Amino acid sequence: MNQNRNTAPKTEPICPPGPPMSPTGAIIFDMDGVLTDSEWFIAEAGRLMFWETHRVEITHGDFKDFMGMGENRFLGGVAEKYRIPGFEIERDKERTYAIYVDLIKGKLKPMPGAVEFVRSCKDQACKGQACKDQACEGRTSEGGAPAALKIAVATSTDYIKMMANLEAIGLAQGVFDALVNGLEVERRKPFPDLFLEAAKRLGVEPGRCWVVEDSVSGVAAAKAAGMRCLGLTTTTTAEAIRSRGADLVVKDLSAVRVEDLL
């Protein structure tokens, strides 16, 4: 009887292929368009604030050019556009946030797959001792145990809105290893400051980080930081995301596995 020991099907390595010298150590998430979508709520809060405080009628469309730039520019840009006298950024922003927090109660929802993906990250580590693929070498911690994946949020928004959003979608308490908001860096996207600060706090080299982004400025910031980028087409076209150098493009976090980034 002829027994051919070479006919067994080949199996894929446990860990997905990747650059041997840059194993993934962290995943950094943008907020809006990635974890949740608060665009309507913050625009409505701003609209109500401008009418209540200044008796100026603003539309949601007036905020479009300032989305993703942080609330100082979000509100300040509209105030400049309409030359609103008496506009005071700290006072008016505080009132906008108060309205915003009330608006999102029970209404702000996570983006598809976002909560599940983040929670998968919490338990994800490369099974280095079992994986024979060269790409997995170096993914273990000192002592040989699997190296835990770290996760962070890095968003242009202020601390108050960041925490309100995370609370609303059930990801506030002890989920992320680091949180960076727009008030903590000098420059916002497309500059890399937010993501570099997140990597610093995580203690992970930029080249070992993935950034999850949905905007062209965010993708540009990730690449400027020397990080790999997962682009989502939740708010932007795939073509626009790819044009800025996204390494992988999917519709949202329901269409990708954590293992795909390791």
Full-prediction pTM beyond 0.85? Answer: no
* Three-state SS letters, the chain: CCCCCCCCCCCCCCCCCCCCCCCCCEEEECCECCCECCHHHHHHHHHHHHHHHHCCCCCHHHHHHHCCCCHHHHHHHHHHHCCCCCCCHHHHHHHHHHHHHHHHCCCCCECCCHHHHHHHHHHCECCCCCCCCHHHCCCECCCCCECECEEEEECCCCHHHHHHHHHHCCCCCCCCCEEECHHHCCCCCCCCHHHHHHHHHHCCCHHHEEEEECCHHHHHHHHHCCCEEEEECCCCCHHHHHHCCCCEEECCHHHCCHHHHC
Domain positions in the chain? 26-37+109-261, 39-104
Structure tokens at 214: 């949905």
- The pLDDT score that the predictor gives to residue 140 is 43
How far apart (Å, rounded) are the C-alpha atoms in residues 115 and 102?
A: 22
* Greatest Cα-to-Cα distance within the chain, rounded to the nearest angstrom: 94
Is the omega angle on the peptide bond into residue 20 within 30 degrees of 0, that is, cis? no
- The pLDDT score that the predictor gives to residue 147 is 58
pLDDT tens digits, one per residue of 188-209: 889 999 999 999 999 999 999 9
Q: Which CATH superfamily is domain 26-37+109-261 in?
A: HAD superfamily/HAD-like (3.40.50.1000)
Catalytic-labelled residue, pool 30, 37, 193, 214: 30
Structure tokens at 210: 């993935």
- Higher local confidence (pLDDT), 202 or 122: 202
Q: Is 177 a catalytic residue?
A: no
How far apart (Å, rounded) are the C-alpha atoms in residues 74 and 81?
A: 11
What residues have CB less than 8 Å from 11, skipping those under 6 apart? none
- The pLDDT score that the predictor gives to residue 49 is 98
- The pLDDT score that the predictor gives to residue 67 is 82
pLDDT tens digits, one per residue of 220-253: 999 999 999 999 999 999 999 999 999 999 999 9
Q: Is 252 a catalytic residue?
A: no
Average pLDDT (16-37) is 79
Average pLDDT (15-42) is 80
